[in-house]
Amino acid sequence: MGGIFVSTLVSTNKLKLTMFQFKQIPKPVIDIIQKFNQHQAEIYIVGGAVRDLILNQSIHDWDFATNLTTNQMHELFPKNSFCNNNYGTFSIVGPHKQIFEITTYRKDEQYSDSRHPSKLNWGKSIKEDLGRRDFTVNTIALKINLKNKSFQLIDPFNGQQDIKNKIIRSVGNASDRFSEDALRMLRAVRLACQLSFVIEDKTFSAIQKQAHLLSNIAGERIRDELFKILLSSQPAFGMVVLKNANLLEIIMPELLIGIDFQQKGHHVYNVWEHNLRSMQNCQTSDPITKLAALLHDVAKPIVAQGKGEARTFYNHEVVGSRIAVKIGKRLKLSNQQLDKLFRLVRWHMFTCQTDQSDRAIRRFIRRVTPDYLDDMIALRRGDRLGSGSRETSWRWELFKKRLIEVQKQPFKVTDLKINGRDVMQALNLKPGPKIGQILDKLFKQVEGNPKLNQRHVLLEKLEEI
User: What does the pLDDT profile of the chain (465 residues) look like in tens digits?
Assistant: 333 333 433 343 333 444 455 567 889 999 999 999 999 999 999 999 999 988 888 888 999 999 999 999 999 999 999 987 667 789 999 988 899 999 999 886 655 555 655 566 788 899 999 998 999 999 999 998 888 777 889 999 999 999 999 999 999 999 999 999 999 999 999 999 999 999 999 999 999 999 999 999 999 999 999 999 999 999 999 999 999 999 999 999 999 999 988 887 666 789 999 999 999 999 999 999 999 999 999 999 999 888 766 678 889 999 999 999 999 999 999 999 999 999 999 999 887 666 677 777 888 888 998 899 999 989 999 998 998 877 777 676 777 777 777 776 656 788 888 898 988 988 888 898 899 899 988 888 887 787 888 888 888 888 777
Domain 254-406 in this protein, CATH class: mainly alpha
Question: Does the predicted model carry a pTM greater than 0.75?
Answer: yes
455 touches 418 (CB < 8 A): yes
* CATH pick for 4-165 out of 3.40.50.2300, 3.30.460.10, 3.40.50.880, 3.30.365.10: 3.30.460.10
- The second-level CATH assignment, the architecture, of 174-251 is Orthogonal Bundle (1.10)
Q: Where in the chain is the domain with CATH 1.10.3210?
A: 254-406
Q: Where in the chain is the domain with CATH 1.10.110.30?
A: 174-251
Q: Where in the chain is the domain with CATH 3.30.460.10?
A: 4-165
Residue 205 CA to residue 171 CA, distance in Å, equals 14
